[in-house]
Chain A
């Protein structure tokens, strides 16, 4: 995989995503403790938490690698993983456990990925306008 020539922001983002994904995978593997997640008093079973975190970690790692290859699915996967991360961070904030730095990184990531320079680099011309229409019937429309 050729790294040179990639925008600096893309490289930083991919490294961060890779690190985050690997760290989460380590947590799933039991190398460090996963935080206890609760849903307003209802405990979420540990296996469910592990499954969700594992899916998120895979999306981060795969997204990071595909992003470095300037593949559009890298963009999609990282956007979705960022969305999942934002949901988790905002939920923690709602429960009174704010993770400000993580939240700030995720916010900047979402806006950076959605900036038109990045979209121009990663998406097809028909997908660049507005919010990307990935549905096949919308792509066909002029």
Chain B
């Protein structure tokens, strides 16, 4: 059961007690704000594309009530627009050169990834020319508008609500930003107007009062269990009762640990390669007795990481208790007009078919108008629907053990009865076997006997499983009663850690090479093919080989590359020999097999 209630003074106190401290990057342009101030600067539009869009509510007239009442036609998109006029080139240059600008400095992201990822990145950049994207100068214009709003309203605000579900008290913190400027300010994947980020604190609703148990944040590429950290997890930094969270630069995605995070691009069909790659690994390591190459599928996946980095360094403004500025909480629930009544987008709709540059809808709704899981089922979203609140865990487990014990007793009884029936049936079948005229009946009874025998074996197997489960559950119960909740990270299938510092430090030459290498690669390929110096395939091989050598030399891995190349050539040589001498190889293999079988049989013969 879910029940939304307007925060009582107690709930507000809970929200304040556990409100997080958000530590931003230096150079961040947008911070959490109240929605009302944003709405005052927006107009409301509807349309099916750039050409037919029309203003439904002009700027200055947008109120939560008018927003809730706004509707679009069939097939049309309904959306807010924060920036009516992006900055022109000259204005943008002037804005970028302003004296008070905090410049975000970082090692080149492309130096941290390989050739394939750089090619994917080049493809991504090219795709921006074809996709619907936020126009250039929008982030700058949004920043100017945001600063104007802040001049009128200096609050750093979060919206929040408190839910009570299944023995949990859920503190739902929602942070609204005027813009996600990850691409234009932090070299990330996308820009879009309006940005919602969410953080949940799950309190164990004990009779003695709520006790913090879990923290969950929305993060790129992660779902369910991987979204949350246990309150006693050492990687969850806290200042008293306040979790310390590091929003990504421009993207505002939340990270528990400070650092730079490489985002992974899911590669379609990679899961199908896991089996064959495991076979290759087994053959290489166990049959050829070569060093273990490790999980090849994971390595392949790692090498395909696209070079977008989310910077969660936490080296800029800190908002929250003990930080540079305090929060202003704004309670929301289903009774708030802009929350419940408006299903459109909260910023510009670019009609980007990949959706990355489209603004999000509100805190309650997805872009398609359906209710977000974070709104109606935060426990399920964080993978906690299956987790008993700690204060109930002992009782839940005791009930389960009692049920298992009862099931075991009933099964024991059933096994005893079935055992007697089985013995009687066996004697009956034996009796029928002696009568030739009853052969058909004997066959039927024999078959039934075998089925009954299988069923009895299944019962005994189940009985053992129940016994083992009950024993393990009792041990777990003892641990829980002793306050031992086990490894705080045991629920995590994928741990997301920042890039190690030593992988971020490369010299200037490597940085420059990383930035220009893909362009050089393409130009060299085109030139060699166009000038007819080499054939297409030889050109591609030569250019890639030259690229690999330069790359390895810059990273001081030339010897490693040459050794790997030797193994690759040896593998190719093996294939060449196997294909060239296929008949001879087959003949030799068959002769060896025949000799082995002969020796084995002769040994058996001599042993008689």
Cα A82 to Cα B170 in complex, Å, equals: 64
Cα A19 to Cα B291 in complex, Å, equals: 29
Chain B residue at smallest Cβ distance from A136 = B556
* A114 and B577 form a contact (CB under 8 A): no
A131-B560, A131-B564, A137-B502 known; A89 vs B290 contact (CB < 8 Å):
no
Cα A15 to Cα B476 in complex, Å, equals: 63
A-contacting 9-mer, from B216-224, B303-311, B425-433, B568-576: B568-576
Chain A residue at smallest Cβ distance from B294 = A130
Chain B 371-419 interface residues, beta-carbon cutoff 8 Å to A: none
Please indicate which of the listed interface residues B569, B577, B580, B581 has the most CB atoms of chain A within 10 Å of its own CB: B569
A34 close to chain B: CB less than 8 A: no
Give the chain A neighbours of B572 by CB distance below 8 A. Answer: 86, 90
Chain B 548-569 interface residues, beta-carbon cutoff 8 Å to A: 555-557, 559-560, 562-567, 569
A132 close to chain B: CB less than 8 A: yes
Chain A 28-49 interface residues, beta-carbon cutoff 8 Å to B: 40
- Picked from A110, A116, A131, A137, the residue with its CB within 8 Å of the CB of B570 is A110
Q: How many residues of A contact B (CB 8 A)?
A: 37
Give the chain A neighbours of B566 by CB distance below 8 A. Answer: 79-80, 82-83, 86, 110
Cα A89 to Cα B570 in complex, Å, equals: 11
Flag A90-111 by CB within 8 Å of B: 1 or 0 each: 1001000010100110110011
Give the chain B neighbours of A131 by CB distance below 8 A. Answer: 291, 293, 560, 563-564, 567
Interface size class of B (residues with CB under 8 A): 20 to 34
Flag A109-142 by CB within 8 Å of B: 1 or 0 each: 0110011110100000000111111111110110
* A111 and B288 form a contact (CB under 8 A): yes
A52 close to chain B: CB less than 8 A: no
CB distance from B551 to the nearest CB of A (A): 13
* A135 and B556 form a contact (CB under 8 A): yes
Chain A residue at smallest Cβ distance from B292 = A130
B353 close to chain A: CB less than 8 A: no
Chain A residue at smallest Cβ distance from B566 = A83
Give 9 new A-B contacts, CB below 8 A, not counting A82-B566, A134-B560.
A40-B538, A107-B573, A107-B577, A110-B566, A114-B291, A115-B288, A130-B294, A131-B560, A135-B556
Q: List 26 A-B contacts (CB under 8 A).
A: A79-B563, A80-B562, A80-B566, A82-B566, A83-B562, A83-B569, A86-B570, A98-B580, A100-B577, A103-B577, A104-B573, A107-B574, A110-B569, A110-B570, A110-B573, A114-B291, A114-B567, A116-B291, A117-B289, A130-B293, A135-B557, A135-B559, A135-B560, A137-B502, A137-B556, A138-B557
Q: Which 8 A-B pairs have the closest CB atoms?
A: A83-B566, A110-B570, A86-B569, A107-B573, A134-B559, A115-B289, A135-B557, A107-B570
